[in-house]
Amino acid sequence: MTADTAYHGEMGRQFALHATNSAYNAHTDRPAMLELAGDVSSLRVLDLGCGAGHYAAELLRMGAGQVVGVEGSETLLRAAQERLEDKAVLHRHDLEEPLSFLADQSFDLAVMALVYHHIDARGQLLAELRRVLRPGGTLLVSTTHPTGDWNYFGGSYFASERVELPFGDGFALNHWRMTLEQFLQELLGAGFALEKLTEPRATQEARLVDIRRYDKTHQQPHFLAVKLRRP
């Protein structure tokens, strides 16, 4: 993410804490994405927008051979380093820029969890992902649900615009809202093949964390997650 959209300073610290056990991040998006990942035994995994390292830690626990994390926020990268110690390779990098430090066809799996909708240069990023994934490799992407954004922000469902969502103590998350059509066309147009699409709902564990948000995810869509294949 850019310097403007990465979660720096106090916002980053609050997000790292929030993502550890929140109903939405820990008990809705993360379980869905890890289920889509399936068997990761011995795979080389790229975690783009790795945040505080929660996904990387789970992927390693599931048997991934190596995880390489990329994050634009120094605050979140420090949190990831504390969580992962020396178990993953971490890079600070602006995802608006090419992934020139990563070799061609060097990963089996790439994960972008709730990152894609923050990016302006999405076409460039998808082209880079196609480059660094081996043929037959897997790309997992989760994003805010287009219908959920429409319900929250109103206006035209077909709007493509940056919006802000209040977060934490006086902060705001800045991201693109887009239609389902736009989201899928960007991914398919970059040369990826869609294998599975899911609309995650909170797991039972979320009931103990936040029953209101648990109920909301079972009544209206919040996230969208897709599994794609690089031909």
By C-alpha distance, which of 218, 207, 171, 141 is closest to 16?
171
Q: How high is the pLDDT of residue 100?
A: 97
- Domains of the chain and CATH, by start: 9-229 (3.40.50.150)
Q: Which residues pair with 110 in a beta bridge?
A: 46, 139
- Runs of H (alpha helix) within the chain: 9-21, 30-37, 54-61, 74-84, 122-132, 146-153, 180-189, 206-209, 211-217
Burial class (CB in 10 A: 0-12, 13-18, 19+), 158: exposed
pLDDT tens-digit series, residues 181-205: 999 999 999 999 999 999 999 999 9
101: helix, coil or strand?
coil
pTM summary value: 0.95
- pLDDT-derived band at 173, boundaries 50, 70, 90: confident
The residue-averaged pLDDT of 24-41 equals 97
